[in-house]
Structure 1
Amino acid sequence: MDRIVQSYIDDFLKSQQIDEKDSSKQFEMFSSYCAVAQQYTEVFDLNDILTGAGGDCGIDGIAIIANGTIISSKEEVDDLIELNKGLSDMLFVFIQSKTSSGFSSGEMGTFGAGVVDFFSETPQFVRNQFIQEKSDLINYIFSKAVHFKSKPCCFLYYVTTGKWVDDQNCVARKNMIIHDLEELDLFKEVQFIPVDVKLIQKYYRNTIDVIETEIDFSQKVLLPDIPKIKQSYLGYVDYEEYLKLIVGDNGEIRKNVFYDNVRDYQGDNEVNIEIAETIKSASNKFILLNNGVTIICKKLTNLRNKFTLTDYQIVNGCQTSHVLYYNKEFINGNLQIPIKLIETLDEDTVNNIIKATNRQTQVTNEQLIALNEFHRQLEAFYQTFSGTQKLYYERRSKQYNYMTEVEKVRIVTISTQIKAAAAMFFDKPHLASRYYGRLLKSVDGIFNEEHKLSPYYTCAYLLYKLEYLFRNKLLPAQYRKFRYHILMLIKYDFSDGKVPNLNSNKIENVCKKILECANDNVELQNEVERMIAIINKHITDASDTESTKSASLIEELKLEVNK
């Protein structure tokens, strides 16, 4: 194993709190994480992408992405269609890794054949449960093709610790696999990416380095002094310079520079079609017809007209940026984009800018939820814990992404917080597979300003500890799908069947007892095994995902645990 890669793997395992001794398994996890992170920059759980051993069709990892979200259920598909009026920016990511020091055309062929068979209507390969569930999910997505804004893209990452040298046999095999997938006529684009030792190092660095880009910004005016703004400019940049801000080294659009998916790219809606028409027929008028983009960065330095933006977000201009990217072949260079460039570290100012720029067109309340006072208070409450109880509430997308001392599994996103709270304290574990925006609308009273903050931290911390036990195989893997049910059951178990209101002092005592249990892995494991025994009384097949969505099961479990 390359020494640098091994050091990165060690850092990765620590960050993910994974206790895996098998070096090949370590490399599989590391490779899958790095590959998916090139396409999806938010926090994600490895358990949602790793295929498992046996019947994996030669595939180590699979990620299904749409509308800026990793999709794990059919319900999420339905919710995204309803909330976003369709499915856009769809990506299917497949990963295979080998610890060998070279590339084998035969093993590449096995990987490619597995992916082709994965999309076959009459598959031939033996499939394990994970592969079958992902296949069913993709089939469901294609059954909703009428809602596609465009066909999905398919990315295959084949990772080794060797060096890619364009070997004739390997290149031929790669092209054959691309051809076979293109022949299915399912995809807008197919890429087979050989990832060698240098590229996998770069991929991992991308996950921890602060994004930094230099552009030529000569056409600008310095705005007057504004309180809490270090500096700000108004002007325009040429298209080629703007492209540097939104396109990564892999040639794909940088999803991580668009703030927290405040508004997903909407595809070919009326406004975006008009923007595209302007690009194609009147690009010299683009600067007059477009409202421009707003960019906020934490650090802005310049030498004459060369500006370096560090840790920046495009807080308004997601639609414009995507339409420009997808129509780049029509741009002849005679196109300028108006921009506002702002340097500030003041959070209130950032919030006000985001609200103002995004309220000019329709944005749903759940998309701006991070700016609410309750979540600011909750973030501060999380910060009162230390040591093994330390978690990080991520109100802002990638808020802790570049703090290398923060273990990634300790980051709690708003989506995770909503699911954990809805399951544990609002008895909605059967809805946890929903898209968080839809789930939020289904739970009356969540995030009430009168609520104590400890229940919200407690459910997130307990979920974090459950994921640790499942990730390290201390609990049977097939029960991970019931983790939200387990949250609810533990709440009732520690409340003696009488759960106090979330605004009462008594709920603080319940949370304290739950946290004491969660801090002891042995005690927690015993508690969870008792809850699993309760679940087993009311299900017939632990591998059946549909049982987790049953409302009647919730009532049965509540009656059982409250006996």
Structure 2
Amino acid sequence: MSKSLNITQSSIQDFVESERCRIDDSMSLGAAFEHVAAQQILTQYLLDDDDIARGLTDGGGDGGYDGIFIFVNDVLVNGEDSDSLELDNKSRVDIHFIQAKNQTSFSEAIIQNWKDSFANLTETENPDRERYREEVVDLFVLIRAILRQTIIKRLQVYIHFWAVSLATQIHENLKKQARELKELVEGIIPSKNTVVDVDFITAQKFFELIEEVPDETMTLKGTKEPLCPDSSSAILTVSLKDYHDFITDDNGHLKKILFEANIRDYQGNVHVNQAIRETLDNKSAIDFWWLNNGITIIADSMARDMDHSVSLTNPRIVNGLQTSNEIARHCQSLEEDDDDRKVLIKCIATSNYEIKAKIIQATNNQTSIPPAFLHSLETTHLQIERYFKNHGLHYDRRKSSGKNNGIPSKDIVSISFLGQCLIATLLKQPDYARARPAQILGDESKYNKIFNENISLKAYYQLAKTCNQIKQLIKKFGLTRGEQNDLLFHVIYLYCVKRSASLELTKSELELLEPPSTEDLRPVIELTKAAYLDFGGNAQTAKSASFVSEIQKRASEQWNLESQ
């Protein structure tokens, strides 16, 4: 950029450069700008670096999309097999399209590219794969599969286009084109329950996004003096409006960080939520809290405040997600603040993870819940976290904790990534690891085989260190971003079997793993890519069990591996 930058623009570039060094110092400044832009725009979803990477699509034939992120009920579903994706009635779908350029202006070509590509990619079952890059086409295949269900399942669809740059102003022509894009997209999607927005993020707005820090200490205002049985607990009633203000940000969005410990996601239009909704919508002489089980909040510490309030450090809502969602919906639908009903809140302060886990399990025992949702608080993961920390890795048991503490991306291992690596190696299913990134901990049978006391902490560590190294090195072999995404877990599997000289990997063999050098990985990449291209070279190839059988066969022949 030849034009001199103002203080705001320079500050943004300094932050982008610091994130580039944390994520991958071989990354270009432009790529880092795209990563940071997505990171800041999507802050509410608590995405980690791997999640962001799954949605970045910049490159030749990207259709004007540097990033595409698809959420169903706030869960990122990028990479999921469209045939396995189940949508409940009235599910909320958020689709974010991002273009981010490290330049001091917005190009008028932005909107025109979106107009052309959105229509082309949504209105045909077989988009031109020579015109659009593979990962863009695959994401639109998933988007079309979701949008086809908008009417049948009455989905609530929110489509958001974001243009990000270091510009200080937005030209009127761009604003006019943005309105035209909005009308075009609304005309393509056949549902009244679709909201389309187009936003331009200028340097000032971008700086404000970077500066926003989630509240760590929050105040909950009661209607009466709270009942405090001891210094670590409080019971209080809170007006619906004050509770709504507590759980939402200035834009009316739920603060996702408050719900990260909740073992259930919002269940949509199920019977229990219909009952809560009816109670809220039909005011009577009976107060809401008389008819509701209430909400449980745990925090690291708690203190009494003035005005019947309590201050909570790092509060997390562990029971009451359904009630919270329905209260938010109800309060946002009110034309005036004329509802003086209350909700019952129980607050408990403890920094002990095992106690927190017991509270979460106990407060949710009214409903049958898959145990997988509790796994991140189990002793196994606490032990892995401590072991990794003592050996120089950060286990991201609390989502995004590594990123938020400035830990380099190469030293961060998420629970889901470790789960994918274990499924790819121990269970010999790299296809499953690739096809279901959002469901890795949801299969109880698989989970019990990969996280248990019979696997040593050293085995988890050696595998994690090895896989993190492979994730870094795979970028150096000239593969496209889509190919890297498709082949990563297949390459991990083949490297491990090549090193052990057997297609059957045992727990003890994981302990002997060592991270590869570039030359160690080269024959693995070459074998995997050749088979991938022979089988079609797309996401469906990487998700198929037949492809796994093929690479096993080729590996056995080339490397004289022990047969199954």
TM-score range, shorter chain: 0.7 to 0.9
**More deviation, 31-40/363-372:** 31-40
Cα distance in 1 for partners of 2:222, 2:372 equals 35
Cα distance in 2 for partners of 1:109, 1:302 equals 56
Structure 2: unaligned runs, 5 residues or longer: none
Equivalent residue for 1:5, pick from 5, 12, 19:
12
Q: CA deviation at 1:280?
A: 1.1
Structure 1: unaligned runs, 5 residues or longer: none
**1:424, 1:459 within 8 Å by CA — same for their partners in 2?**
no
Equivalent residue for 1:465, pick from 462, 465, 469:
469
Cα distance in 2 for partners of 1:77, 1:149 equals 19
Tell me how large the CA RMSD over aligned residues is.
3.0
Cα separation, partners in 2 of 1:121 and 1:550, compared to 1, 3 Å: closer
Match of 2:253 in 1: 252
Match of 1:221 in 2: 226
Instruction: State how many pairs are aligned.
Output: 536
Deviations 1:128-183 (A, max 9, x none): 22211111111122344477462221112121213357x65444333333233223
The residue matched to 2:96 in structure 1 has which SS?
A: strand
Match of 2:350 in 1: 344
Match of 2:397 in 1: 395
Deviations 1:271-313 (A, max 9, x none): 1111111111127631211111111223444541254434221
Q: CA deviation at 1:97?
A: 2.1
Deviations 1:515-538 (A, max 9, x none): 2x43xxxx2x22222112222454
Deviations 1:375-395 (A, max 9, x none): 222222212212xxx2x2233
Match of 2:526 in 1: 533
Equivalent residue for 1:327, pick from 310, 325, 330:
330
**1:164, 1:194 within 8 Å by CA — same for their partners in 2?**
no
**1:470, 1:480 within 8 Å by CA — same for their partners in 2?**
no
The residue matched to 2:99 in structure 1 has which SS?
A: strand
Cα separation, partners in 2 of 1:402 and 1:106, compared to 1, 3 Å: closer
Does 2:410 match 1:417? Answer: no
**2:299, 2:349 within 8 Å by CA — same for their partners in 1?**
yes
Cα distance in 2 for partners of 1:399, 1:282 equals 42
Cα separation, partners in 2 of 1:532 and 1:489, compared to 1, 3 Å: same
Q: CA deviation at 1:110?
A: 4.1
**TM-score, with structure 2 as normaliser:** 0.86
**1:394, 1:413 within 8 Å by CA — same for their partners in 2?**
yes
**2:90, 2:269 within 8 Å by CA — same for their partners in 1?**
no
Alignment of 1:112-511 (within 5 A): 114-121=117-124, 126-145=131-150, 148=153, 150-164=155-169, 168-184=172-188, 185-186=190-191, 187-206=193-212, 209-225=214-230, 231-260=232-261, 262-282=263-283, 285-305=287-307, 306-331=309-334, 332-386=338-392, 390=393, 392-400=394-402, 402-404=404-406, 406-432=407-433, 433-434=435-436, 435-442=439-446, 445-471=449-475, 477=481, 478-497=483-502, 501-502=506-507, 504=508, 507=509, 511=511
Q: CA deviation at 1:419?
A: 0.9
Deviations 1:339-390 (A, max 9, x none): 112332121221111111122222111111223322222222212212xxx2
Q: CA deviation at 1:224?
A: 2.1
Q: CA deviation at 1:251?
A: 2.7
Cα distance in 2 for partners of 1:333, 1:104 equals 47
Q: Which amino acid aligns with 2:494?
A: L
Match of 2:541 in 1: 547
**More deviation, 416-425/102-111:** 102-111
Cα separation, partners in 2 of 1:121 and 1:44, compared to 1, 3 Å: same
Cα separation, partners in 2 of 1:130 and 1:538, compared to 1, 3 Å: closer
The residue matched to 1:183 in structure 2 has which SS?
A: helix
**1:315, 1:354 within 8 Å by CA — same for their partners in 2?**
yes
Cα separation, partners in 2 of 1:117 and 1:336, compared to 1, 3 Å: farther
The residue matched to 1:224 in structure 2 has which SS?
A: strand
Cα distance in 2 for partners of 1:382, 1:309 equals 29
**2:90, 2:156 within 8 Å by CA — same for their partners in 1?**
no
Cα distance in 1 for partners of 2:118, 2:209 equals 22
The residue matched to 1:219 in structure 2 has which SS?
A: coil
Q: CA deviation at 1:431?
A: 0.8
Q: CA deviation at 1:427?
A: 0.7
The residue matched to 2:404 in structure 1 has which SS?
A: coil
Deviations 1:217-237 (A, max 9, x none): 342424222xxxx53210111
**TM-score, with structure 1 as normaliser:** 0.86
The residue matched to 1:448 in structure 2 has which SS?
A: coil
Q: Which amino acid aligns with 1:530?
A: P
Cα distance in 1 for partners of 2:14, 2:73 equals 34
Q: CA deviation at 1:103?
A: 4.7
Cα distance in 1 for partners of 2:526, 2:304 equals 63
Share of identical aligned residues, percent?
A: 22
The residue matched to 1:63 in structure 2 has which SS?
A: strand
